[in-house]
Amino acid sequence: MGENTAAADRPADLSVRLGPLRLKNPVMVASGTFGYGREYEDFLDLGQLGAIVVKGISLTPRPGNPPPRIVETPAGMINAIGLENVGLQVFLESKLPYLSRRGIPAIVNIFGNTLDEYGELARRLDGQPGVAALEINISCPNVKQGGMVFGTDPAMAAEVVGKVRQATTLPLITKLTPNVTRIAEIARAAVDAGSDMLSCINTVAAMAVDIFSRRPKLANVIGGLSGPAVKPIALRCTYEVLQSVKCPVIGMGGIASAMDALEFLLLGASAVQIGTANFVDPAVAARVVEGIKRFLQVEGIPRVEEFIGSLDLQCTFPFAEESCRSLNLD
């Protein structure tokens, strides 16, 4: 009893260990939703974040897709940005130093059209100051193999991860797409090929059309759905991935509050990434960190790692705990 009270007075320890990576807290911001960090400097103290996953980088700059690139849907949005980015060289010269000077861990999301491009990116990012880890985006078409997406085939996913693994000693995260029949197979293939961690999910393939113009709402016709609408899919994918591998898993998909983030941690995700919610509330990531801290304190949990993976899979009827509490019976 006395110990519990003492624990409740002290701020909870939010630090997490993800294989070779240690973070001050489990809250990151997802690639493609936070620019290169600086875009958000007016809205929150970037030093409060566990890490920033920067906009996906390719070897050479990419202009992105023709507009319209985004469309709003119920509790979500579909995007087909087309991986617009400044390219590796500009990133290293003018984007990364902003984060490294401030000691903010940068996780660099990389993607290529060929295996060699993935390898080359990893080689040139290896040893760059400020790079905490690489996140491999395998949701890209393999140009040499007729455009089939690397991340939808276990063998191709393994080849990409293997290529990157050979090129760097940096901690590796493989970002999984939910657009597969069995995500666990891709997860195992990536880990067997040397990925230290996994992150899931990328956006859910989606479409929207306009009945007046009788045209698609995106120039690319198909895009990726994100936002609160995908959270239940993301939780299910994270759960399946956690069941199939032993490595740390980073959960994401529709997180917009501390409660959302805690749901992924409860499943066993070692950390989370906030995506689309950054667009709506540019200070949301800081609020999520504070919310997790408050929750742990109120619940008397001294360390977030004690909460991670504490899900009891035996489902009970909801009357027990909740009604006892509201009636002040406990």
Partner 1 sequence: MAKHLETARLMEQEPVAHQTYRMLLHSPAIAREARAGQFMMLQVRDGNDPLLRRPFSFHRIRSEAGAVEILYRVVGRGTWLMSRMEPGAALSLVGPLGNGFELPPAGVGPVFLVAGGIGIAPIEELAARLLEAADLSRDGSVHLFYGARTGPELLRSDRVSRPGLRIHWSTDDGSRGFRGNVIQCIEQVLGEEEGLRPARVYGCGPLAMQYRLALWALHRGVEAQLSLESLMACGFGACLGCALPAASPDDPTSERYLHVCKDGPIFPAGSIQWEKIRQQQIAPPIFRCV
Q: Name the minimum Å distance from CB 256 to partner 1.
A: 8
Are 54 and 100 within 8 A, CB to CB? no
Q: Is 63 in the site for partner 1 (CB under 8 A)?
A: yes
Q: Does 208 interact with partner 1 (rule: CB under 8 A)?
A: no
CB neighbours of residue 89 within 10 Å: 13
| Binding segment toward partner 1, per CB under 8 A, in 147-155, 169-177, 277-285, 304-312 | 277-285
Choose the stretch contacting partner 1; rule: CB under 8 A; options: 196-204, 279-287, 294-302, 305-313: 279-287
d(CA 286, CA 294): 13
The answer to whether 157 and 189 have CB atoms below 8 angstroms apart is yes
DSSP 68: P
Interacting residue with partner 1 among 35, 97, 141, 194 (CB under 8 A): 35
Catalytic hit among 140, 200, 237, 247: 140
Residue that is written with structure tokens 């980088």 in the block? 57
**C-alpha R_g of the chain:** 20
Does position 203 bind partner 1 by CB under 8 A? no
By C-beta, is 77 or 190 nearer to partner 1? Answer: 77
CA–CA dist 18, 26 (Å, integer): 9
DSSP code at position 93: I
Q: Which residues contact 48 (CB under 8 A, 6 or more apart)?
A: 25, 285, 286, 289
Q: How far is the CB of 157 from partner 1 (least distance, A)?
A: 26
User: Between 108 and 147, how does the x/- string for binding to partner 1 read (CB under 8 A)?
Assistant: ----------------------------------------
Q: DSSP for 177-230?
A: PS-SS-HHHHHHHHHHTT-SEEEE--PEEEE-EETTTTEESSTTSEEEEESGGG
206 CB neighbour count, 10 Å cutoff? 21
Q: Cβ 28 to partner 1, closest distance in Å?
A: 15
How far apart (Å, rounded) are the C-alpha atoms in residues 329 and 177?
Answer: 45
At its nearest, how many Å lie between partner 1 and the CB of residue 300? Answer: 30
140 carries an active-site annotation: yes
Residue (of 319, 261, 247, 254) closest to 295 by Cα position: 261
188 vs 231, which CB is nearer to partner 1? 231
Query: Considering only 112-120, 194-202, 273-281, 322-330, which stretch makes contact with partner 1 by CB under 8 A?
Result: 273-281
Least distance between partner 1 and beta carbon 313 (Å): 28
**Minimum distance from residue 225 beta carbon to partner 1 (Å):** 11
Q: Are strands 215-216 and 249-252 parallel, antiparallel or unpaired?
A: unpaired
| One residue of 175, 188, 217, 287 binding partner 1 per CB under 8 A | 217
Task: Say whether residue 227 binds partner 1 (CB under 8 A).
Answer: yes
Among candidate residues 135, 180, 118, 177, the one with its CA nearest the CA of residue 18: 135
Binding segment for partner 1 (CB under 8 A), chosen from 129-137, 199-207, 209-217, 242-250, is 209-217
User: With binding defined as CB under 8 A, does residue 39 bind partner 1?
Assistant: yes
The answer to whether 74 contacts partner 1 (rule: CB under 8 A) is: yes
Minimum Å gap between C-beta 39 and partner 1 is 5
Residues near partner 1 (CB under 8 A), total:
43
Q: Report whether the peptide linkage leading into residue 201 is cis, meaning its omega lies within 30 degrees of zero.
A: yes
**Binding stretches for partner 1 (CB under 8 A):** 32-35, 39-40, 42-43, 55, 63-72, 74-77, 79, 81, 84, 210, 212-213, 215, 217, 219, 227-229, 256, 276, 278-283
> Mind telling me the catalytic residues?
140
